[in-house]
Amino acid sequence: MTIDINPDLYAQVPDEHGRFGIYGGKFVAETLMSALAELENLYNDLKDDPAFLREFDLDLAHYVGRPSPLYEAARWSDMIGGGRIYLKREDLNHTGAHKVNNTIGQALLAKYMGKKRVIAETGAGQHGVASATVAARLGLECHVFMGEEDVRRQALNVYRMKLLGAEVIPVTSGSKTLKDAMNEALRDWVTNVDNTFYIIGTVAGPHPYPMLVRDFQSVIGREARAQSLAMTGKLPDALVACVGGGSNAIGLFHPFLSDNEVAMYGVEAGGKGVETGEHAAPLSAGIPGVLHGNRTYLMQDENGQIMHTHSVSAGLDYPGVGPEHSWLKDIGRVNYVDATDTEALAAFHRVTRVEGIMPALETAHALAYAEKLAAEMIPCQHIIVNLSGRGDKDILTVAEIDGIDLGTR
Amino acid sequence: MSRLGPFFGTLRSENRRAVIPYLVAGDPDEALTVPLMHSLVEAGADIIEVGVPFSDPMSEGPTIQKGHERALGGGTSLLSTLALVKQFRETNTETPLVLMGYANPLERKGYAAVADACAEAGIDGLITVDLPPEEVAAMNAELQRQNIDNIFLISPTTGDERVATITAQASGFIYYVALKGVTGAGHLDTDAVEAHLATIRQHTSLPVAVGFGIKDADTAATVAGCADAVVVGSALVDLVANDLKSGGSHTSAISGAHSLISSIRNGVNLATSN
């Protein structure tokens, strides 16, 4: 399937208002508008500044450990017997996920702005850990907002953040998950806007966040593109990444968007099945609306109230999605599909056993779909899956689901 | 036609200041809302701000968040809020009413339909917290078609140039957010409020209401020294919730609310009689 879209289109978004087509924008309370303008101006000055980019690249090389390898999952691919699967090993980054690419970038912006206090929201805790890590390194005060439900199911990451010197604030409002953590972070930012930098963890939020998080994460796709050419002599036939807010997916996809021959699949959390309503798949089953500063596909009821979501993975348990994904869906560039809790858990176990790589439960959604896709392909075709994070943080959840008592509770 | 313009005209000619209580529609149940509104007017409220419950009220402190949660628990929506407004209008056609809420429930119904429904119910103005001037054009056009005022927020972080942009699009009144923070937070710096209001008035002759952080008659009186109106939200929501929580009836909650607004009314009156 080849796509016929003008390859110049992608450089034109977001526009000056932060819009991707009808999506994106700056839907926030007036108190935050000046802070967003300040950030936007600074970022516009820095994004092509060689000194800033060199500093970012050096941090990625020496602190994060980039480039991350592209690895051919040979045994798994042989078992599937179709297309070859390559894994972009973001799990090997410092702190164990792609999230750190973005926190390194935003911490640099905070440093340039002279802010001494950073805040972050987190779902699975990976972004919280990555934020606490850069804060520790730069000597910044760090507060991480995390839904009470996620504090419970991601206890290991909570302790990691505390070890790093961050304060973890359990959020008890609403559904007690990622969306509520983001509400609370926005409330903190409005209160402490003068001295605080808000490190948003995904390609959502008000402009310029979806743009700058995308830019920082695009290192994933730039490396993967060069690695694919070097290892296979061609571009991949397909890219697969999981989508919660969508930062690892945009990071992989963006540098390939103009390559119309590369198919792309964003895998949402199908939860107990999209047809049951218990899922976190706004692109598959949502309606456009406004939440957390941008217009995007949302899971909402007929009165415009945001619905509770369900996913086995805390990092995908979010009722919205980055606005650029909404746009990429509407123009038909990216296919948005889903994998259920059960499918993701099966893929978690399979890749762990077959490749010796334990993926995060978020990532396992992408792996579950990649397996189906590979089965329909032929061996001269290949897929790159963003192995966005490692699964150590999830072993308590997996043990609980499998009915295994580790004696930790 | 919005009642706000004529109302503030009269208010100014009488050298008075307005008291604007805020409540969440349907908090904690829809049976309380209309009797409470009538009682607030009786106690001296000039305008009532009716909060439209939303699942993710990002600018609200814990007190009003809980109000939204209680109202949603009882099933209150934008449409049922407007039904309550209509019921209020059966016996009160004078008091200006302003809806305050968030963009998504309005987007979901469509701005044109919202403007029509608001006009039919007797709403005079809208405050949409997360629709700054950059994002408001589509809704503004529909509100203007129905002569409903669009009331903008201006905050302590709004620069001079932006004040001009906002006031150029605003009508009805300006809502000045008195502090950096969420509703019900912190302590007011009344000198800073006075200085900001002076800046705003250089750009507009629209009345300026001040909200966020006004808790009692004293703070209301101080703010009324420089503002055209004072908004009381969290203190009222808190009082009603606490009364009901400690076993009070609708009647006792309404009577408590009446006392609070009366005392704020008196405080505000004192500020202008000196």
Q: Is A306 on the interface with B (CB under 8 A)?
A: yes
Beta strands, E only, A204-286: 238-242, 263-271
Give the per-residue pLDDT at A153: 79
Q: Where are the domains of chain A?
A: 20-60+99-213, 66-96+218-401
pLDDT band at A113 (very low <50, low <70, confident <90, very high): very high
Give the per-residue pLDDT at A406: 83
Closest by CA position to B172, among listed B145, B199, B142, B208: B208
Return the H-helix or E-strand segment holding B231.
strand B229-232
Residue A408: is its pLDDT beyond 80? Answer: no
Please name the CATH architecture into which domain B4-273 falls. Alpha-Beta Barrel (3.20)
pTM above 0.95, yes or no: yes
Distance CA A171, CA A168 (A): 9
Measured in angstroms, the CA of A302 and the nearest CA of chain B are apart by 7
Residues in chain B within 8 Å Cβ distance of A31: 153, 155-157, 177, 180-181
Give the per-residue pLDDT at A314: 87
Q: Do A29 and B61 touch (CB under 8 A)?
A: no
Distance CA A313, CA A47 (A): 33
Q: Is A22 on the interface with B (CB under 8 A)?
A: no
Q: Which CATH number does A66-96+218-401 carry?
A: 3.40.50.1100
Q: β-strand A263-271 against A335-340: which pairing, if any?
A: parallel
Measured in angstroms, the CA of B58 and the nearest CA of chain A are apart by 5
Residue A361: is its pLDDT beyond 80? Answer: yes
pLDDT band at A149 (very low <50, low <70, confident <90, very high): confident
- Written as six digits, the tokens of A125 are 């805790």
Nearest by CB: A17 against B134, B182, B186: B134
- Written as six digits, the tokens of A408 are 């930790």
Q: What percent of chain A has pLDDT over 90?
A: 93
Distance CA A324, CA A205 (A): 11
Residues lower than pLDDT 50 in chain B: none
Q: CATH class for domain A20-60+99-213? A: alpha beta
| CB count in 10 Å sphere of residue A21 | 17
- Residue A239, beta-bridge partner list: A264, A384
Contact A90, A360 (CB under 8 A): no
Read off the amino acid at residue B176: Y
- Written as six digits, the tokens of A260 are 């119309």
| Dihedral over alpha carbons B161, B164, B169, B170 (to 10 degrees) | 120
Beta strands, E only, A114-246: 117-122, 141-147, 167-171, 196-199, 238-242
Q: Do A187 and B61 touch (CB under 8 A)?
A: yes
Alpha helix locations (H) across A14-67?
30-46, 50-59
| CB count in 10 Å sphere of residue A278 | 17
Distance CA B132, CA B59 (A): 13
**What is the per-residue pLDDT across A258-281, written as a single tens digit (0 to 9) for each?**
999 999 999 999 999 999 999 999
Contact B172, B153 (CB under 8 A): no
Q: What's the mean per-residue pLDDT of chain A?
A: 96
Q: Where are the domains of chain B?
A: 4-273
Q: Is A99 a catalytic residue?
A: yes
Residue A388: is its pLDDT beyond 90? Answer: yes
Read off the amino acid at residue B229: A
Distance CA B93, CA B126 (A): 17
Residues in chain B within 8 Å Cβ distance of A282: none
**What is the per-residue pLDDT across A3-45, written as a single tens digit (0 to 9) for each?**
788 999 999 999 999 999 999 999 999 999 999 999 999 999 9
Residue A409: is its pLDDT beyond 60? Answer: no
- The catalytically annotated residue of A40, A121, A324, A362 is A121
- Written as six digits, the tokens of B145 are 């078609």
DSSP 8-state class, residue A258: T
Q: Is A195 on the interface with B (CB under 8 A)?
A: no
Distance CA A241, CA A388 (A): 8
Q: Do B132 and A33 touch (CB under 8 A)?
A: yes
- Residue A290, beta-bridge partner list: A295
DSSP 8-state class, residue A97: B
Q: β-strand A238-242 against A263-271: which pairing, if any?
A: parallel
Q: Do A26 and B135 touch (CB under 8 A)?
A: yes
Q: Is A121 a catalytic residue?
A: yes
**What is the per-residue pLDDT across A47-63, written as a single tens digit (0 to 9) for each?**
999 999 999 999 999 99
Nearest by CB: A27 against B61, B103, B105: B103
Give the per-residue pLDDT at B272: 81
Residue with tokens 């009165």: A303
Distance CA B137, CA A298 (A): 22
Please report the ipTM that was assigned to this predicted complex.
0.96
Measured in angstroms, the CA of B43 and the nearest CA of chain A are apart by 31
